């Protein structure tokens, strides 16, 4: 797939901000940072990971920003090649305990804003979206508003990546049957009837951006309607600074809002980590496949 931009970052910044960029410098992965000619605004130009990638991320940012629960970089605009965002200066240090707790409380509020359906795309966002460099389907929403979480998670978050991993030779057919069993048993593995939550969708620690003023900003989303335990499980996957503070404040805020996390949620972390682990499996290979298999088996064992 050819993802080389057909227009330059400079031209895209002019198009979407109406300003001339100066002091352009590389940021990594093809992105650039530039100061606008008002000298007060710095923006990032991110190249598209693939078809619809900029539209998916831009719509996701606006959806997450809409209620104002957590700060999100302003999306100036996007086209097929580039997404133009405000640049948020990183703190370069771990957050204070109070800042981590504030993030946990506000993340709980964001999740409880809800979504139209499991697998729903953000308003204006495409069904064929992305998580990092991997395709991701947001096939819920108006056309399938009654889809259960179990159906959505099996159909759009487990099975496509297992099939790809088998095609790649990273998983064999016997290993794939473990995930088939998980998919069949999902209604029992995740009891309860939570409504769809408004998810960031790729909430590993690198996408929680701590700014110089001590706040946690949400960046690089793969936003969709899903189960809130999935965001929390992804936050645990690679660790996060002050994680205990974040999760403790989250749980307290959810309970105060009358929507406590369902019993046994800590035993289901591996179940909800299957999605990011399988994405990493198809992108990066065998080590993640072993982790995904372990998580699937543990999820089955935990349910008996």
Digit-coded pLDDT (tens) for 241-290: 999 999 999 999 999 999 999 999 999 999 999 999 999 999 998 899 99
**What confidence category does residue 2 fall into, taking pLDDT thresholds of 50, 70 and 90?**
very low
Q: Are strands 216-218 and 224-226 parallel, antiparallel or unpaired?
A: unpaired
DSSP assignment, residue 90? B
- CB 178, CB 162: distance < 8 Å: no
Digit-coded pLDDT (tens) for 93-128: 889 999 999 999 999 999 999 999 999 999 999 999
CA 21 vs. chain centroid, Å, equals 29
Give the domains, in start order, of the chain with CATH numbers: 9-86 (3.30.200.20), 97-303 (3.90.1200.10)
Higher pLDDT, 142 or 286: 286
Q: Quick check: 304 pLDDT over 80?
A: no
Cα(13)–Cα(34) distance, integer angstroms: 9
Beta bridge partners of 67: none
Q: How many CB atoms lie within 10 A of CB 244?
A: 11
Cα(82)–Cα(55) distance, integer angstroms: 9
Higher pLDDT, 2 or 175: 175
pLDDT at residue 92 in the model: 78
- CB 111, CB 197: distance < 8 Å: yes
Q: Quick check: 303 pLDDT over 80?
A: no
Cα(271)–Cα(265) distance, integer angstroms: 10
Buried b (16+ CB within 10 A) or exposed e, 184-202: ebbeebbeeebebbbbbbb
């Amino acid at each position: 797939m050819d993802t080389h931009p057909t227009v330059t970052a400079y031209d895209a910044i002019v198009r979407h901000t109406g300003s001339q960029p100066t002091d352009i410098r590389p940021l990594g992965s093809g992105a650039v940072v530039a100061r606008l000619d008002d000298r007060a605004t710095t923006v990032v130009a991110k190249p598209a990971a693939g078809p619809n990638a900029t539209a998916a991320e831009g719509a996701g940012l606006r959806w997450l920003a809409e209620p104002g629960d957590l700060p999100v970089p302003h999306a100036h605009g996007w086209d097929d090649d580039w997404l133009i965002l405000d640049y948020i200066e990183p703190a370069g240090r771990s957050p204070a305990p109070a800042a981590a707790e504030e993030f946990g409380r506000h993340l709980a509020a964001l999740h409880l804003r809800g979504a139209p359906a499991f697998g729903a795309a953000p308003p204006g966002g495409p069904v064929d979206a992305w998580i990092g460099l991997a395709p991701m389907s947001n096939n819920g929403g108006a056309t399938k508003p009654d889809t259960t979480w179990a159906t959505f998670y099996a159909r759009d978050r487990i099975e496509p990546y297992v099939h790809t991993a088998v095609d790649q030779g990273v998983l064999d057919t016997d290993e794939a049957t473990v995930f088939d069993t998980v998919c069949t048993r999902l209604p029992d593995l995740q009891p309860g009837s939570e409504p769809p939550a408004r998810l960031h969708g790729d909430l590993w620690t690198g996408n929680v951006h701590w700014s110089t003023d001590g706040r946690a900003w949400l960046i690089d989303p793969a936003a969709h309607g899903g189960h809130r335990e999935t965001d929390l499980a992804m936050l645990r996957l690679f660790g996060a600074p002050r994680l205990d503070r974040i999760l403790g404040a989250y749980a307290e805020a959810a309970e105060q809002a009358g929507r406590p996390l369902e019993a046994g949620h800590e035993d289901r972390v591996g179940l909800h980590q299957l999605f990011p682990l399988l994405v990493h499996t198809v992108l990066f290979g065998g080590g993640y496949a072993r982790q995904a298999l372990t998580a699937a088996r543990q999820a089955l064992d935990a349910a008996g």
